[in-house]
Structure 1
C-alpha cells in the first residue's frame, strides 16, 4: 500500500507550492510515508491531463491512497469528478480529500457497521455538495470572462471577441486621412497597416461614422 499526492492549478501564473506543502505537512503529521506528488498546470474541466493520466494508469495500484487538498483540485466538472471517484474506487484506490474530514477515516478498519454506514453516507453527500460547488465556481468564472470580453468588444477595445484590436481607431483615422487626401491608395494603406480586408473596411466604416463630412469626397 502506497500513498501518492496530486495537485492541479489552472494557469501558469498560479503556483503549485501551497498544495504541495499542505499535502506534505499532512503526511508528516500523520506519519504517512508519501511516495511522490504528481502535478498538472491545466484546466479542471476534464481529466485529459498528462501527469494525472500517468498517475492513474501507470502508478496507482489496488490498496494505494491518493491524497488531494481540495475536491476542485481534482476537477471542476461535477459529473466528471464523480465518475473519476467511482473509477478510483473500483480500481481499489482510496481517495483522501484534506478539506473533507470524512474522507480521512479509514472505513475498512471500522468494526461498527452502523457508524461506517453513517460516515459513508455523510461522505457521499459532502462529495456531491463540493463537486457541485466546484462546477458552479467554474461556470461563474467562465460567465465573468465572457461578460468581460463582451464589455471590451462594446467599448471597441477588441475588434473580434478574443482578439485584441489590430490598431487603435485614432491611429487608423490619422493614417486613413492619407487615403482621403489621395496620397496613398486604400490597398497601399491596408498593406502598410497589416490589416485584413474585413478589418480595414470595419475601421473605414468607423472613420466615416466619426467624420461623415469626408463622405462627400469619396
Structure 2
C-alpha cells in the first residue's frame, strides 16, 4: 500500500504546495509514509489535469489518494465527477481527505470485508456531498464574478484581464513554427479561442 499525495491550486500565482506539511504530518501521525507527491496549478472544475491522472496511473489496488480537501480533488460538474469516481473505483484507490473525517479510517489496512464495505459506502456518500458543495461554491463564485464584470462594464470601469505578453509571444512563435493547434493546446493548456485571436493578430 502506497500513499500518494495530491496538491492543487487553481492559478499559477497560487501556491499549490501550501498543504504539503499538513499532508505529511497527517500521514506520519498514522505511521504512514508518503511515497510520492503530485502538484499542479489547474482548475478543479476541469478533468484536464495531467498530474491527477499521473497519480492515478501510478496507483496500485489499495493505494491511498491523500488530499487536503475534497475541493482540491473536485469542483467538477456531475458528469465529470462520475467519470473521475469511476476511474478511482476501477483502480481500487482509497480517497482520504483531511477535511473528511469519515475517510480517515480508509488509511488503515486492517479492515475486514464487512467493515471495509461499510466504510466505502459511507465515505462515498460523503465524498459525493462535499464534491457537490464544492461545485456549487465554484458556480456561485463564477456567477458573482460575472455580475461584478457586468456592473463594471455598465459603469465604464471594467478593463478586463491584462494580457500575458510573455506567454502569448511563445504561442505566436509556436504558430510561426507551424505547430498544430492541437499540439499547442495539449502542451500549454491554452484555449483554441486564444490561438485564434493570436493567429488573426499575426496575420493582420
TM-score, shorter chain, exceeding 0.5: yes
Aligned residue in 1 for 2:110: 109
- Count of paired positions: 160
CA pair 15-151 structure 1, distance change in 2 beyond 3 A: same
CA RMSD of aligned residues (A): 2.3
Q: Unaligned regions of 5+ residues in structure 1, if any?
A: 165-218
Unpaired segments ≥5 residues, structure 2:
163-204
Determine the structure 1 residue equivalent to 2:69. 70
Post-superposition shift, 1:144?
Answer: 1.3
Work out the CA distance in 2 between the residues paired with 1:56 and 1:117: 21
Distance change in 2, residues 1:122/1:94 (3 Å): closer
Does residue 136 of structure 2 align to residue 136 of structure 1? Answer: yes
Contact 1:7-1:20 within 8 A present in 2 as well: yes
Q: Residues 70 and 97 of structure 1 are in contact (CA less than 8 Å); yes or no, is this contact kept in structure 2?
A: yes
2-11 or 82-91, which deviates more = 82-91
TM-score normalised over the length of structure 1: 0.65
Q: Pick the structure with greater CA Rg.
A: 1
When residues 70 and 163 of structure 1 are mapped into structure 2, their CA distance, relative to the original with a 3 A threshold, is: closer
Within 5 A, what are the aligned runs for 1:28-47?
Answer: 28-47=28-47
Residues in 1 aligned to 2:144 and 2:32: alpha-carbon distance in whole angstroms: 41
Greater RCO structure (CA 8 Å; 6+ sep): 2
The TM-score with structure 2 as length reference comes to 0.69
State the alpha-carbon separation in 1 of the partners of residues 28 and 109 from structure 2.
Answer: 22
